[in-house]
Amino acid sequence: MDFMEKLMTKVSEGTKILSQKTDELLEITEIKMEIKRLEEEILEAKIFIGEMVYRNYLGDETSTMQLREKCKEIEQMYHRIHRLTSEINEIKGIRQCSNCHMDIREYSKYCPNCGNKIV
Ligand SMILES: [Zn+2]
């Protein structure tokens, strides 16, 4: 390979990596937006729960069922946020220590926080 060929190969490799990184960033941004949307929904659901608690206090029996259903919805949304956060970490190549739950870069063999061996 002559110099120009080598250079062109390097440039196209660089472009490939760059576009891959851009895709990853775009995906992370989309996931973060979804998390933000869920967090807002959770906030609204909690306001609703407050209203239900007050109606319950006033003697409205139907509010108890609605209260439970809303709590279940919130629980599911928190689960989804947790999954989305793991997705982001996976894209970034970050894993969690099984002992202290600290975020760790893929290439580390031991947790820098507690020394736990990363499997
Ligand atoms: Zn650890």
Q: Show pLDDT as tens, one digit a residue, over the chain (119 residues).
A: 688 888 888 888 888 888 888 888 899 999 999 999 999 999 999 999 999 999 999 999 888 889 999 999 999 999 999 999 999 988 888 888 889 988 887 677 889 899 998 87
Distance 96 CA to ligand 1 centre (A): 8
∠ CA 101-105-111 to the nearest 5 degrees? 50
Query: Which pLDDT belongs to residue 6?
Result: 86
* Domain ranges across the chain: 16-105
Query: Which pLDDT belongs to residue 1?
Result: 66
Distance 18 CA to ligand 1 centre (A): 32
State in words which class domain 16-105 has. mainly alpha
The enclosing H or E element of 74 equals: helix 62-92
Query: Which pLDDT belongs to residue 109?
Result: 84
